[in-house]
């Protein structure tokens, strides 16, 4: 009887220990910082606004102690590496990172991991194995544009490519997808390429500069923040407006709506939702809480079609970008793969 009693007590003690180990950790005293490499366009401004909105509520509710955002003045690897090192010295528990380079920041990221800091990269992800990555299929985002053009313009034609910010992984990935789409649909030919820096004014100037040297353009493929600028450049040059792929910015959607109402203009729009920063925040919080999370997570890009234009525009702030902000439950669904 004594042996059975002792055995029961032992089993009970082990069970209590296991339950305690499974309990989630309290993150109310944890500090999560956002390290951002660039803020010079409407997408980045919307991203930071979403971060402040969601993390501000999380701090107010006592989920975490603080969650400030830090943005470098220039899109430079050395400057962001120094920023990360400062965050390490300041003792943050987690760093959410939009990186200037997938490889260039790996040294600083490894230093953070070695200091026991959780690093969650998104949008501009890093390849350092100790970090977590929330990736969008940017190559697919480029390729889908050519699939759309093939359906709309089966005979093909000349295409102008507007790229993003030179030297950034996202720009290279989307452009690679566009070029793979051209290989898949050889009736299209890219006859010109400019960098629009994901900014309307920059794109307009770049397109205006190259247009005099280009033949007839049937379509313009883009990366976001450049569609309206392209339309303005074609108009100013007195050239027919081609089929321009848009990038979910309010000015692009507004122009598209006006053209649709006037002459039935038809296109599509695609970009990553700026609120992906909030998903990265919740993933970092979950990891600090003790959740098991895959090092690599994927979120879909946000596509707007002709029949969803009105609703998307109605929910997009002037000067902003069509957006999705994530809750903790959304993050749990992404982590679980649902």
What pLDDT, in 10s, does the model give residues 153-186?
999 999 999 999 898 888 999 999 999 999 999 9
Token pair, residue 85, equals 């090192």
Per-residue pLDDT reduced to its tens digit, 47-87: 999 999 999 999 999 999 999 999 998 889 999 999 999 99
CA distance 121 to 131: 7
Please identify which residue in the block is written with the tokens 């989920």: 63
User: Would you say 69 and 92 are in contact if contact means Cβ atoms under 8 Å apart?
Assistant: no
The angle at the Cα of 136, spanning 51 to 160, to the nearest 5 degrees, equals 110
Length of the chain: 338
- In percent, the amount of the chain with pLDDT more than 90 equals 84
User: pLDDT category, 7, cuts 50, 70, 90?
Assistant: very low
**CB atoms < 10 A from the CB of 88, how many?**
19
pLDDT category of residue 289 using cuts at 50, 70 and 90: very high
Residue in 260, 218, 258, 263 with CA at minimum distance from that of residue 241: 218
15, 52, 317 from 57: Cα distances, Å = 36, 8, 20
Express as a percent the part of the chain with pLDDT over 70: 93
- Burial (CB count within 10 angstroms: exposed 0-12, middle 13-18, buried 19+), residue 155: exposed
Condensed to tens digits (0 to 9), the pLDDT of residues 117-145 reads 999 999 999 999 999 999 888 999 999 99
Residues whose CB falls within 8 Å of the CB of residue 147, separated by 6 or more in sequence, listed in order: 181, 184, 185
- Three-state secondary structure readout of the chain: CHHHHHHHHHHHHHHHHHHHHHCCCCCCCCEEEEEECCCCCHHHHHHHHHHHHHHHHHHHCCCCCECCEEECCCCCHHHHHHHHHHHHHCCCCEEEEECCCCCCCHHHHHHHHHCCCEEEEECCCCCCCCCEEEEECHHHHHHHHHHHHHHHCCCCEEEEEEECCCCCHHHHHHHHHHHHHHHHCCCEEEEEEEECCCCHHHHHHHHHHHHHHCCCCCEEECCCCCHHHHHHHHHHCCCCCCEECECCEHHHHHHHHHHHHHHCCCCCEEECCCCHHHHHHHHHHHHHHCCCCCCEEEECCEEECHHHHHHHHHCCCCCCECCCCCCHHHHHHHHHCC
**Mean pLDDT score, 16-27:** 55
Q: Between these two residues, 211 and 135, which has the higher pLDDT value? A: 211
- Inter-residue contact 145 to 109 (CB < 8 Å): no
Terminal C-alpha separation, the chain: 49
Encode pLDDT of 26-47 as tens digits: 999 999 999 999 898 889 999 9
**Residue 264, Cβ density class (10 Å: 0-12 exposed, 13-18 middle, ≥19 buried):** exposed
The pLDDT mean for the chain works out to 92
Given pLDDT bands bounded at 50, 70 and 90, which one contains residue 22? very low
- Compute the CA torsion angle 233, 236, 237, 238 (nearest 10 deg): 120
Domains annotated for the chain, with CATH where assigned, are 32-137+273-301+323-336 (3.40.50.2300), 138-271 (3.40.50.2300)
Tokens of residue 89, six digits = 């010295």
Q: What is the mean pLDDT of residues 293-299?
A: 94
Instruction: Report pLDDT for 14.
Output: 39
pLDDT of res. 196:
95
Rounded to two decimals, what is the model's pTM? 0.82
């Amino acid at each position: 009887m004594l042996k059975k009693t002792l055995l029961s007590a032992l089993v009970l003690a082990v069970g209590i220990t296991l339950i305690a180990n499974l309990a989630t950790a309290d993150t109310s005293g944890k500090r999560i910082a956002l390290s951002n490499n660039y803020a010079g366009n409407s997408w980045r401004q919307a991203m930071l606004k979403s971060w402040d909105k969601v993390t501000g509520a999380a701090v107010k509710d006592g989920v975490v102690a603080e969650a400030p955002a830090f943005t470098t003045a220039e899109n430079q690897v050395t400057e962001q590496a120094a920023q990360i090192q400062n965050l390490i010295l300041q003792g943050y528990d987690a760093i959410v990172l939009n990186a200037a380079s997938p490889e260039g920041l790996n040294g600083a990221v490894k230093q953070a991991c070695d200091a026991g800091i959780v690093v969650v990269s998104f949008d501009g992800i890093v390849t350092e194995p100790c970090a977590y990555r929330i990736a969008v299929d940017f190559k697919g985002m480029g390729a889908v544009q050519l699939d759309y053009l093939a359906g709309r313009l089966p005979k093909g034609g000349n295409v102008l490519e507007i790229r993003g910010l030179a030297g950034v992984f996202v720009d290279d990935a989307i452009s690679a997808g566009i070029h793979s789409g051209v290989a898949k649909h050889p009736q299209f030919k890219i006859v010109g390429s400019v960098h629009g820096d994901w900014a309307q004014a920059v794109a307009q100037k770049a397109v205006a500069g190259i247009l005099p040297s280009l033949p007839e353009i049937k379509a313009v493929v883009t990366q976001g923040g450049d569609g309206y600028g392209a339309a303005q450049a074609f108009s100013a040059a007195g050239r027919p407006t081609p089929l321009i792929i848009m990038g979910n910015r309010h000015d692009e959607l507004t122009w598209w709506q006006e053209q649709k109402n006037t002459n039935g203009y038809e296109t599509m729009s695609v970009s990553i939702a700026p609120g992906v920063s909030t998903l990265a925040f919740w993933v970092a919080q979950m990891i600090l809480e003790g959740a098991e999370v895959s090092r690599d997570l994927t979120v879909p890009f946000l596509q707007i079609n002709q029949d969803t234009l009105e609703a998307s525009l109605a929910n997009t702030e002037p000067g902003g970008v069509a957006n999705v902000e994530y809750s903790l439950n959304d993050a749990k669904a992404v982590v679980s793969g649902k």
